Amino acid sequence: METASTMKAKIAELRERKAKASLGGGQDKLDKQHKGGKLSARERIALFFDADSFQESGLFANQRCVDFGMAGKESPADGVITGIGTVDGRHVNVASQDFTVFGGSAGEVHCAKIMDSMRISLRTGKPFVFFNDSGGARIQEGVYSLAGYGKVFYTNTQLSGVVPQISLICGPCAGGAAYSPALTDFIIMTRQAQMFITGPQVIKQVTGEDITAEALGGAGSQIDRSGVAHFVAENDEHAIGICKRLLSFLPNNNTEDPPVLGGSYSLEADYALDEVIPEDSKKPYDIRDVITKILDFNDFLESQETFAPNIVVGFGRITGLTVGIIANQPKVYAGVLDIDASDKAAGFVRFCNAFNIPIITLVDTPGYLPGVDQEHRGIIRHGAKLLFAYSAATVPKITVILRKAYGGAYVAMCSKDLDADCVFAWPTAEIAVMGAEGAAEIVFRREIEAAEDKADARAKFAKAYRDKFSSPYVAAAARFVDDVIEPNQTRIHIAKTLERLTTKRTLRPAKKHGLIPL
Ligand code: HXC
């Protein structure tokens, strides 16, 4: 009897301790969090995971700093909730910073908890998701908090390419702390969040520039301008929805294939695709009209939508199989490849290759962007990233040339010579070193200068060049193109090719790692 009542008391104490610790920094701070339009760390977890699936680890963790008035202070869960739960039935490890506890700041114990969660991801081959909402390194803990972050960065790097890592930025993410998300694969940022290495005050002191925190590191800046973040969300709920959708396309780790969405899929001609390319070959169109028509249920999850919009990248499925799409966007700068587009596409190719996601490349580009600014900022180095990423990729690579494929950009957009498994071309494909007018101007300069009617001569030579190269048949004769297909058949051809490439095995020379131009 006595034992039972002792146990009852112990359980009551345990429940009380758990309830108290689960309140984090207390109701006042929770209210403040809600007033700022943000969910709490625990509410984010509850919304993210399947009901009752979350198993927490480290609720009773506490800080142990004795300096600057910290001695004996309680820091429930030390400001970060960690554990594992299921999302659509699949296990995911999580760390969720609790801003109500010392502003979610990261000390020694806090960082150790994050690392533990990451290590479990690594050992079990399950994705890692990190909700960031923090004032950064815990100031009172000095070098211990810096070392903690250093270890988080190191562990991020260990996980890189082994399990998918996704960061959600739901509040401040300041200072070196921003480098953990930067080392992960995707960053989803809410409109309530900011990321920067040095805040407005420091910038004002050092450079004299005046800028608000929002203009400096809000979602607008870090998505549209810098390309640091990949997705913008209106709020926490929206961010969590994006994260779940993104996870649905991804495998658990690099040794698995992405999940296959069961169901019956139509493989029929889509005659709307025959109408996409305008009569006037200089006219733009929206490449998304093509992308959505070749994907199951027209479902496309676009990444970095507003950064380097001259190239479009994202995930979709074809007959239930996840594919990564990389497509020039003729609607923006004619789909030219520039520094940012090369970085964006190369990064996406690397991710797909690391996680066994076949790559579909849609080509309509007039080439790499000419210009002093691009040359001086290193388009040679950045453009080379795309060549490297495609060449190094061993996943199935299927390329469709829709219209222009000029110059280096033809090669870079996963041509046969970069080891594409299959290259299709629409009858409208123009595969040449450059546009016919430009080519005529260089090759026949003397003849044009000598001609009485220069415009007529220019047009004549341009036509001769266009007649020779501005079709897919020269490339097809040389087997740089496997088949010229009717646009309406594109989805069918890609689906059949994907099916036969599922057993693809490719070896690359053994080495520690390649040296992608950085
Ligand atoms: C300890 C911190 C903290 C920090 C915030 N708090 N940041 N405690 N270390 N880094 C505490 C505050 O004292 C406060 O405690 C509570 O968290 C909430 O903070 P507020 O300032 O009241 O909130 P808010 O007005 O919303 O401002 C949030 C903020 C601001 C913008 C994040 O707190 C801030 O600027 N903090 C410092 C940011 C920073 O410079 N961090 C260091 C980055 S360097 P009370 O008790 O009042 O509730 C870094 C290096 C990493 O991270 C290096 C890795 C190699």
Task: For 257-300, write each residue's pLDDT tens digit.
Answer: 999 998 888 899 999 999 999 998 889 999 999 999 999 999 99
- The two three-digit tokens of residue 20, written as one number: 């108290």
Q: d(Cα 392, Cα 514) in Å, to the nearest integer?
A: 8
Does 175 participate in catalysis according to the annotation?
yes
Question: Which of 97, 102, 195, 202 maximizes ligand 1 atoms within 8 Å of its Cβ, making it the mutation to test the pocket?
Answer: 102
Strands (E), 75-127: 80-87, 90-97
Q: Measure the CA–CA gap between 262 and 278, rounded to whole angstroms.
A: 36
CATH of domain 271-429+481-500: 3.90.226.10
Fold topology of 2-249: 2-enoyl-CoA Hydratase; Chain A, domain 1 (3.90.226)
Nearest CA to ligand 1 atom 36: 135
Give the mean model confidence (pLDDT) for residues 73-83: 97
- pLDDT band for 2, please (50, 70, 90 cuts): low
Which of 135, 171, 175, 435 is catalytic? The answer is: 175
Q: Which atom of ligand 1 is nearest to the CA of 137?
A: 52
Instruction: Using the mean position of ligand 1's atoms as its centre, give its distance from the Cα of residue 484 in Å.
Output: 59
Ranges assigned E (strand) in 433-505? 483-484
Q: What does the pLDDT look like over 338-379, one tens digit per residue?
A: 999 999 999 999 999 999 999 999 999 999 999 999 999 999
Task: Compute the distance from residue 347 Cα to the ligand 1 centre, in Å.
Answer: 32
Has 408 been annotated as catalytic? yes
The overall pTM is greater than 0.85: yes
Q: Confirm whether 2-249 and 271-429+481-500 share one CATH topology.
A: yes
Residues 6+ apart with CB under 8 A from 421: 396, 397, 398, 497, 501, 504
Per-residue model confidence as pLDDT tens digits over 378-419:
999 999 999 999 999 999 999 999 999 999 999 999 999 999
Average pLDDT, the chain: 95
Q: Which helix (H) or strand (E) holds 198?
A: none
d(CA 440, CA 349) in angstroms, rounded, equals 35
Pocket residue to mutate for ligand 1, from 105, 146, 180, most atoms within 8 A of Cβ: 105
Whole-angstrom Cα distance, residue 418 to residue 440?
28
> Burial level of 220, CB count in 10 A (0-12/13-18/19+)?
middle
182/167 Cα distance (integer angstroms): 9
Residues with Cβ within 6 A of ligand 1?
Answer: 102-103, 105, 135-140, 146, 149-150, 172, 174-177
Residue entry with tokens 């020694």: 108
Contact 401, 426 (CB under 8 A): yes
In the DSSP assignment, the letter for residue 106 is B
Q: Of residues 176, 199, 227, 438, which has the active-site annotation? A: 176
Percentage of the chain lying above the pLDDT 90 cut: 88
Q: Which residue shows structure tokens 């190269």?
A: 469
Out of 125, 220, 408, 438, the active site residue is: 408
Predicted confidence (pLDDT) per residue in 87-98, tens digit: 999 999 999 999
Contact criterion met (CB below 8 Å) for 148 and 156:
no
Domain ranges of the chain: 2-249, 271-429+481-500
**Side chain identity at 135, as an amino acid letter?**
G
